[in-house]
Amino acid sequence: MLEALSAAFSELFSIKIILMIIAGLFGGLMTGALPGLTATMAVALLVPFTFAMSPTDGLILLGAIYMACIYGGSFSAILVNTPGTPSSIGTTFDGYPMALRGEGERAILVATYASVYGGIIGVIFLFFLSPPLASVALQFGPPEYFWMAVFGITIISSLASKNIVKGFIGGAIGLLISTIGIAPIGGDVRFTAGFPQLQGGVELIVALIGFFCIPEAMTMIGQRTKKFHLAEAKRQPGIFLRTLREVMKKQGNLLRSSIIGTIVGILPGAGGSVANLVAYNEAIRASKTPEKFGTGYIDGIIATESSNNAVVGGGIIPLVTLGIPGAPPDAVLYGVLLLHGLRPGPELFTTHSQIIYTFILSLFIATILMLPVGVICGRALHRTVVRLPIRYLAPLIIFLTVIGSYSIRNNIMDVFIMLVLGMLGYILKRLGFHPGPITLGLILGPIGEMGFVQALLMGAILPNRWMIFFDRPLSWVLIIMSAVSLCWPLIAKRLAKGWKIKEM
């Protein structure tokens, strides 16, 4: 191992590799910041460029792109209330209110520091704890995936604190939309209203763009007579170090969210889209000032951004140890490994240890370099967006939504679906339904349905097939977590009352 490590170090510290990482970071940041272009797409698009490279160089470039893309999603989440990737949904909740207050630059810096922190924690877990963590992920069967989806849905009680019923209705709408198309088991065609284009279902990214971007662009258009710019840019001298100190004081939130990100990343099929919302929920529950979340509070950004970048390291753990991709971009990395003649699995650490250690160390370096590259790009983007008049910004947002929704499947129908969902999202927003729970339902729907139906099939051997959901200890852990999460607003109120009485 030591021999492979020293070889990896000597290979990494060359001008060519560092430049390649920086190029990957720039590319990843720009792709991540564009709504609709996900980390999976960015990594997949760049695969042909790696054909002519050595396996190590190819993995280093794609790793840097992957890491930066997840972080880049926070830029558009903060500046235009549109998550660049599904991993940044939670960042909109506090990032955008900060941008509207003229604190967009501070929000971007918080996202940068938290992303770097989360990325490093994820890579540390990847380096030291790969085999034991991967074996824990294997304990998850269909009933556990179903309960994990239920646990995810209970997050709505924290997300929609203003009106929990409306939050859960939004979640149910999202879950129902996710069932449109061919059933995952059995192959029935459902709820397509006769449109063959809907058989493939509603693409998550298309729905995400629709529910977040279009209502925002419509609001800008609707308020055009009141505002010339989206927000005012305040000059804040010394913001770089001051924000760093502020973020570093939140060690509990940073560490908790990074660990959540790593664990969710390890679970196949979950990924950053789930991790950022789970971490946000846990940050609210652990906070003594939960009422500040959603109003432009840095703890919210810290939770989502540290967790989604920790997913990168976490997702690679089952990939390199078991040959199972943890998150969708890892599936593309799986393909890249195969293309270069490397079989993902336990033997990677024995037969190709130098390549794997070089890749892991390059991820670490990419995460560190993300700090200067991210700060430069983030500040430049912030200045551009706040200086751009709304009459240009709103059409450009719509323009980007069209590119994003079309390029997922090269289907014009997806653009129509995006617009329809966008109009629905705008109406629902006006009626007090937040897009967060709807998209959460969309993300968790396929995970929940697959787990639910597969578990019922597994349960056929039991006297009562429904007992499969309560048959395993890990299921009970998730059931208890879901119950606590669901009742948390009530528990928190009781606790707060108790604290107040004690203080008196």
Partner 1 sequence: MKSDRITSIVFILVGLAFWLQTEGLQYNGYIFPRFLALFLILLSAILFGQTFRKIRPPQNNGGRDDLKYILVAIPIVLVWIILLDVLGFVVSGVIFLSILTILLDLERPKFTRVISVVAVYIAVVLTFWFAFHKLLLVPLPPGYLI
Here's the x/- map for partner 1, 142-181, by CB under 8 A: it reads as --------------------xx-xx-xx--xx-xx--x--
Q: According to CB under 8 A, which one of 19, 339, 457, 467 is a site residue for partner 1? A: 457
When asked if residue 412 is in the footprint of partner 1 (CB under 8 A), the reply is: yes
Distance CA 347, CA 230 (A): 53
* Coil, helix or strand at residue 434: coil
Cβ proximity to partner 1: between 227 and 343 the closer is 227
Cβ proximity to partner 1: between 374 and 448 the closer is 448
Nearest of 70, 57, 73 to residue 23 by alpha carbon:
57
* Coil, helix or strand at residue 410: coil
Distance CA 493, CA 496 (A): 5
Residues between 364 and 393 with contacts to partner 1, criterion CB under 8 A: 390-392
Residues between 48 and 67 with contacts to partner 1, criterion CB under 8 A: 48
Distance CA 374, CA 25 (A): 8
Question: Taking contact as CB under 8 A, which single stretch among the options 14-22, 56-64, 182-190, 313-321 is the one that binds partner 1?
Answer: 182-190
When asked if residue 209 is in the footprint of partner 1 (CB under 8 A), the reply is: no
When asked if residue 430 is in the footprint of partner 1 (CB under 8 A), the reply is: yes
Cβ proximity to partner 1: between 189 and 496 the closer is 189
Distance CA 186, CA 176 (A): 18
Tokens of 55: 């396996």
Cβ proximity to partner 1: between 382 and 429 the closer is 429
Q: According to CB under 8 A, which one of 131, 252, 372, 432 is a site residue for partner 1? A: 432
* Residue type, position 449, single letter: E
Nearest of 473, 94, 36 to residue 279 by alpha carbon:
94
Nearest of 367, 359, 339, 472 to residue 130 by alpha carbon:
359
Here's the x/- map for partner 1, 223-242, by CB under 8 A: it reads as xxxx-x--------------
When asked if residue 23 is in the footprint of partner 1 (CB under 8 A), the reply is: no
Provide DSSP, 327-339. Answer: SHHHHHHHHHHHH
CB-CB contact of 67 with 309 (8 Å)? yes
Nearest of 106, 368, 379, 123 to residue 244 by alpha carbon:
106
When asked if residue 131 is in the footprint of partner 1 (CB under 8 A), the reply is: no
Question: Taking contact as CB under 8 A, which single stretch among the options 197-205, 249-257, 430-438, 467-475 is the one that binds partner 1?
Answer: 430-438
Cβ proximity to partner 1: between 138 and 396 the closer is 396
Distance CA 17, CA 24 (A): 10
Please count the residues of this chain forming the interface with partner 1, following the rule CB under 8 A: 59
Distance CA 314, CA 275 (A): 11
Residue ranges binding partner 1 (CB under 8 A) = 45, 48, 162-163, 165-166, 168-169, 172-173, 175-176, 179, 183, 185-188, 190-191, 218-219, 221-226, 228, 390-392, 394-396, 398-399, 402-403, 406-407, 410, 412, 415-416, 419, 423, 426, 429-432, 434, 448-449, 452-453, 456-457
